[in-house]
Amino acid sequence: MIAGSEIIEKQVLEKVTPSPKERKDLENVIKQLKVEVKNEIEKSKLKVSIVLVGSTAKETYLKDSVDIDLFLLFSTSISRRQLQETGLSIGRSILKNQEECFAEHPYIRGIYKGVKTEIVPCYKIESASQKLSAVDRTPLHTSYIKEHISESQKKEVRLFKQFLKGIGCYGAEAEIEGFSGYLCEILILEYSSFQNLIINVQNWQYGEKLSLTQAKSPHFDTPLVFIDPVDNERNVSSALSIEKFAIFVKACKEYIKKPCITFFFPKDVKPWSIDKIKKEIGPREVIAVRAEKPPIIPENLYPQVRKAVRSIKEMCERYEFTILDSKFHINNTSIYMILFPEKRTISKTMLHMGPPVKMKKNADEFIQRWADNHRTIGKPFEKDKRFYVEIDRKYTDIKDLLEEHVKNLSLGKHIDKVVKRDFTILERDNLLIGDLRIFWTEYLDKKMPWER
């Protein structure tokens, strides 16, 4: 037992465990949903079975985070097109505030009687080797957990999930890049309890590999590898980023030293004043590209924004602007892709390196190419057995570079569209604004969620 943790964990479980009435109410909603779905299935005249999956089916859901995941299992003889059309039609006819989402094929997400609900079509399979798409495995995951998890371990999963929520690492979606619910469950199966897991995590290193079976599996280069017990070709923790892996290990070490309720329920970020932000930033350079936020779901938006930031950073570095850090911020209307260059402006000329002197053909071509070039400052010269030439830089101000070239980069399908339509380069003073106070507070303060 981690000293001083027992009372804290008891309090956490009281807060996150649904009451008998709440469970009963949810069961009734699920029953009503199944009846409506069955009626729609009968209209389609197809043989489709219904399976409840996810944390509600496994009784590992958190009180304040209830989702209904209902899967429609079609025969593998049905075409992909018919599966999609029927599945979407059923979802559209039942759910409110609906949106069409996309995994390997479309599904409907919305609200049913006040509860977040997903209706997902998939193929009915007996083993992962029969899967026609990744979602076909999900009912197998639910069956596996229901068969192997004990009643007491369901409490351990809830504790673990809330711990991850508290430290900002819960969720495998692109916005979070953390631990999925299924990964939480198999980690508890591996270590038996939340405390035993936390204690063992102290010794984890990049590439930690876990498996509940003895089956052979491929090599995965990720911070954590946990082989899926229902599909040994899959790494359940593939979505976990290096950043979230490091935060999790750090949080486990610090929780053991000094357990605290804020690991589970951190205090809200208190945004600093603009004056304090200006003072903390000091003289460092900062510049950003702001674009309209495209109307797409987070699962599609966040990977594109990360790609866009990488592309912009790499382009700046190709033109020899040193970028010390890069971040992004997304609000309801805009995307901010933020760079921290070492210098806003760089020298007017640069030394361009040519081939070694001994490579005569290449050296001659280099001399010929640059001898009369309009950008050349002086003739090519030899230094340390290699040819060099001093040339004018095309861009000496990072703002000019961004204004001219951002729209030509490959930033992601939807980001490309909004950037080509319009974007703004924001300099330091235009970034120290009220809308970005929380971003700046978190960036500059460096406190972990449990330290607030």
**Continuous segment of H or E residues that includes residue 143:** helix 138-148
- pLDDT band at residue 382, thresholds of 50, 70 and 90? confident
Pairing of strands 48-53, 67-74: antiparallel
Three-class secondary structure of residue 441 per DSSP: helix
Backbone φ and ψ of 247, nearest 5°: -60, -45
Rounded distance, CA 311 to CA 24, Å? 50
Q: Answer yes or no: are the C-beta atoms of 163 and 194 closer than 8 Å.
A: yes
Q: Answer yes or no: are the C-beta atoms of 203 and 225 closer than 8 Å.
A: no
Higher pLDDT, 130 or 241: 241
- pLDDT band at residue 25, thresholds of 50, 70 and 90? very high
- pLDDT band at residue 100, thresholds of 50, 70 and 90? confident
Q: Is the pLDDT of residue 103 over 70?
A: no
Place of tokens 């460092």: 284
Residue 197: other Cβ atoms inside 10 A: 19
Q: Is the pLDDT of residue 104 over 80?
A: no
Tens digits of residue pLDDT in 400-421: 999 999 999 999 999 999 999 9
Supply the pLDDT for residue 17.
97
Q: Percent of the chain at pLDDT above 70?
A: 100
- pLDDT band at residue 4, thresholds of 50, 70 and 90? confident
Tens digits of residue pLDDT in 148-157: 999 999 999 9
Over residues 369-376, the mean pLDDT reads 84
Average pLDDT, the chain: 94
**Structural domains of the chain, ranges and CATH numbers in brackets:** 19-146 (3.30.460.10), 149-263 (1.10.1410.30), 274-345+396-451 (3.30.70.590), 349-392 (3.30.70.1550)
Q: What is the pTM of this model?
A: 0.89
Q: Is the pLDDT of residue 424 over 90?
A: yes
Tens digits of residue pLDDT in 188-210: 999 999 999 999 999 999 999 99
Supply the pLDDT for residue 365.
85
Q: Is the pLDDT of residue 285 over 80?
A: yes
Q: Is the pLDDT of residue 297 over 90?
A: no
Distances (CA, A) of 224 to 165, 207, 244, 368, 424: 18, 5, 11, 53, 39
Distances (CA, A) of 101 to 61, 83, 90, 377, 395: 22, 15, 14, 56, 42
Supply the pLDDT for residue 379.
83
Rounded distance, CA 362 to CA 323, Å? 32
> DSSP per residue over 113-180, as a string?
TTEEEEEEEEE--SSGGG-SSGGGGHHHHHHHHHHH--HHHHHHHHHHHHHHHHTT-B--STTT--B-
Supply the pLDDT for residue 184.
98
Q: Is the pLDDT of residue 238 over 90?
A: yes
Pairing of strands 115-123, 208-211: unpaired
Tens digits of residue pLDDT in 315-368: 999 999 999 999 999 999 999 999 999 999 999 988 888 989 888 889 888 888
Q: Answer yes or no: are the C-beta atoms of 37 and 90 closer than 8 Å.
A: yes
Q: Is the pLDDT of residue 37 over 80?
A: yes
